[in-house]
Chains A and B, each alone.
Chain A
Amino acid sequence: MKLTIRALLGASVALALAGAAQAETTITVATVNNGDMIRMQSLMDDFYAKHPDIKVDWVALEENVLRQKVTTDIATKGGQFDVMTIGTYEAPIWGKQGWLVSLNDLPAEYDVDDLLPAIRGGLTVDGNLVAAPFYGESSMVMYRTDLMEKAGLTMPEAPTWDDIKKAAAAMTDKGAEVYGICLRGKAGWGENMAFLTAMSNSYGAKWFDMDWKPQFDGEAWKATLTDYLALMNDYGPPGASNNGFNENLALFQQGKCGMWIDATVAASFVTNPKESTVADKVGFALAPDTGKGKRGNWLWAWNLGIPAGSQKIDAAKTFVAWATSKEYLELVASKEGWANVPPGTRTSLYANPEYQKVPFAKMTLDSINAADPTKPTVDEVPYVGVQFVAIPEFQGIGTAVGQQFSAALAGSISAEEALAKAQEITTTEMTRSGYIK
């Protein structure tokens, strides 16, 4: 019985495949549902005109669902996708497993040397480019120029955390619903921990020492968390412990935040007059530091990778090369303007005089260049990654620790308790995983 069903299914699949192969190759592309990817879906006519033999099936999902689905699929070799959108966190881990097709043989006109070195470095495993960057981002300070002016302050181009604190105090006017600073507080390794880990780097803190011993019991983490909590309790918006990127974006666009330190891609949203009530009053500065030599900014990119189990590697490669090419950037610019071009992947984009006119272009590039995934913090560490630690266990640990810090922000536990719990959770998990002998 079972065998017949299997045979029948197999036959019908084979038939379907044969039918499709004659006409065209259909590839399934999984992407996150962010604006730049959605825009690509509306520009597919250009791709179909150049490659009439390839058809693209889109699966656009929110970030958490997407990550979980593609990870399950690639780890079990489910073979559901031909191109996957993956983050800088996944690329090195998957690359090491041999799960991704090497992209070293992309055509010469792709000009792989044009990719920004910091981004390309994070996507190279043993000399193989395992994924092609679609857009890259760092984090920076976005602030309200009008409120700074009213407070009689000027924002330095490269502020310290003390500058931020002063500005936050001066801009806060809770009666008028203006909060000096908005930061992420929602628990998650890619939410509050992305911000806090990047911030901690500028305080000289680190996740692990060279023996993979967790470091939450050190002074540097204590200073980071205490300052973060003080900033948010005194000058932050209510409900901050559930605020992620989107919640803060909505607040900032409505003019309720004096400053917001977050992803550089936010710049195009907050300066868009169609959505933002403060579009013409936004200034940009580098993420703050404490004079220890590292800034509190992260480095992230969404990249297109091809799973090694794909049956349509050639078509997938053609698509990846098109989507991350220089020509694609020009295509977006011609249809939607330079400000909407996917940022942060190519040197040539930042050399383009047209693009340099975009107000946040230079600050984005400077921020990206200020981050070094291979040397994220002041001291030497055994791991790669600025706002994350590129080991498979990090998602779980990061989220569990994020929950503790989120609880500290909500006021249900103290900073000391949160750090102690973080240390305990991390130590247990690292011992279990065999890092700590």
Chain B
Amino acid sequence: MARKTTQTRTAVVTVAAWTIGLLIFFPILWIIILGFKSEGDAIKTPLAVLTSDWTLASYHEVQERSNYFLHFMNSVILSLGSTLLALVIAIPAAWSMAFVPGKRTKDLLMWMLSTKMMPAVGVLVPMYLMFRDFGLLDTRIGLVVVLTLINLPIVIWMLYTYFKEIPGEILEAARMDGANLRAEILHVLTPMAVPGIASTVLLNVILAWNEAFWTLQLTTSSAAPLTQFIASYSSPEGLFYAKLSAASTMAIAPILILGWFSQKQLVRGLTFGAVK
């Protein structure tokens, strides 16, 4: 009896979960499908789209027109570079805030988060002028710095919450054994924080990959990531659904695959200190 109800229940949950999952995923599925259709077919009714011929024409055209590999590499360098740089700055900061908290630690964290609230469009001209003067326009290094600073508050916040969960006694014990500060961080703290750091890295790679304002405004060609690749396929004169879909698929596929492999990590790791 009990087994039977469990089975029915699992069946119902399976159906419900798959239905909702497919509904949420459907827009992305649709982009992937449209990428394999001709422009003329892509604007037909959904049934006609599904029954029309499949073609690689859009991918061929995108391949011919843009240097996908360059944009892809730039996206990889920018998102990984900015995440790594942010980690280097954030790990010590989060460590000290978590283990040597002061009266102002909470305020400091809040203030850090509040730096994310400036609307980017409002500071475009000042930023552009500064980038021009430092010769940073259209350079990867310039964008890595900007993306690092944009995501730094989130990185610090996340690491802080993970570090806080690590019991202080372990550190005490390490200190007793004569470990100095550096050894403490490197050999005791970091290994324990690896799951948290991994989630932080993932989330920030995603955020950096999708950042579409500064990456578009501060690059021209050699440092331009996939966001600019997309901008060259959206809304030209004439039909563009199929080509845009093909380009979009190429732009989101890498991050989607990364998400696929790391979903366990994401599901476990995104606590922001909210779970005790």
Contact = CB atoms under 8 A, between A and B. Distances in A.
Q: Do chains A and B touch in the complex (CB under 8 A)?
A: yes
A249 B238 contact: yes
Contacts of A38: 65, 236
B114 interface: no
Interface of A: 5-6, 9-10, 13, 28, 30, 32-35, 38, 41-42, 57-65, 69, 72-73, 76-81, 245-246, 249-250, 253-254, 263, 265-266, 269, 274-275, 277
Contacts of B234: 62
A5 B142 CA distance: 12
Contacts of A249: 237-239
Nearest to A33: B236
Given A9-B135, A65-B216, A81-B220, A245 B231 contact: no
A246 to B, nearest CB: 6
A342 B64 CA distance: 21
Q: State the 9 A-B residue pairs at the shortest beta-carbon distance, nearest first.
A: A33-B236, A60-B232, A80-B220, A34-B237, A62-B235, A57-B221, A62-B234, A78-B132, A9-B135
A245 B135 CA distance: 38
B238 to A, nearest CB: 5
A59 B237 contact: no
A271 to B, nearest CB: 13
A62 B231 contact: yes
A246 B237 contact: yes
A13 B137 CA distance: 12
A41 B220 CA distance: 17
Contacts of A13: 135
A69 B231 CA distance: 12
Interface of B: 39-40, 43, 64-66, 124-125, 128-129, 131-132, 134-138, 216-217, 220-222, 224, 228, 231-240
Nearest to A273: B40
Given A34-B236, A250-B239, A69 B135 contact: no
A249 B239 CA distance: 8
Contacts of B131: 78
Given A9-B135, A77-B132, A275-B39, A72 B237 contact: no
B135 A275 contact: no
A35 B236 contact: yes
A279 to B, nearest CB: 11
Contacts of A42: 64-65
Contacts of A76: 125, 128-129, 132
Nearest to A2: B134
Given A246-B240, A275-B239, 20 more contacts: A6-B135, A13-B135, A30-B220, A35-B236, A59-B220, A59-B228, A60-B65, A61-B228, A62-B234, A69-B217, A72-B124, A72-B217, A77-B132, A78-B137, A81-B220, A245-B237, A249-B239, A253-B43, A269-B237, A269-B239
Contact of A78 (B64, B65, B128): B128
Contacts, number: 100
A254 B233 CA distance: 22
Nearest to A41: B65
Contact of A10 (B43, B135, B237, B238): B135
B238 A35 contact: yes
A72 B124 CA distance: 9
Choose among A33, A72, A263, A266 the residue with the greatest number of B CB atoms under 10 Å from its CB: A33
Nearest to B216: A65
B240 to A, nearest CB: 7
A293 to B, nearest CB: 31
Choose among B66, B134, B228, B237 the residue with the greatest number of A CB atoms under 10 Å from its CB: B237
B250 to A, nearest CB: 16
Contacts of A81: 220
A352 B272 CA distance: 70
Nearest to A77: B132
6 contacts: A28-B221, A42-B65, A246-B236, A246-B238, A265-B237, A274-B40
Contacts of B228: 59, 61
B236 A253 contact: no
B147 to A, nearest CB: 18
Contacts of A9: 134-136
Contacts of B224: 59
Given A38-B65, A72-B125, A80-B138, A28 B236 contact: no
B217 A33 contact: no
B232 A62 contact: yes
A80 B239 contact: no
Nearest to A29: B221
Contact of B43 (A28, A30, A254): A254
A58 B216 CA distance: 15
A59 B232 CA distance: 8
Contacts of A41: 65
B134 A35 contact: no
Contacts of A246: 235-240
Contacts of B64: 42
A429 B131 CA distance: 31
A253 B39 CA distance: 11
B91 to A, nearest CB: 22
Given A246-B237, A249-B238, A6 B232 contact: no
A34 B238 contact: yes
Given A250-B43, A274-B40, A63 B135 contact: no
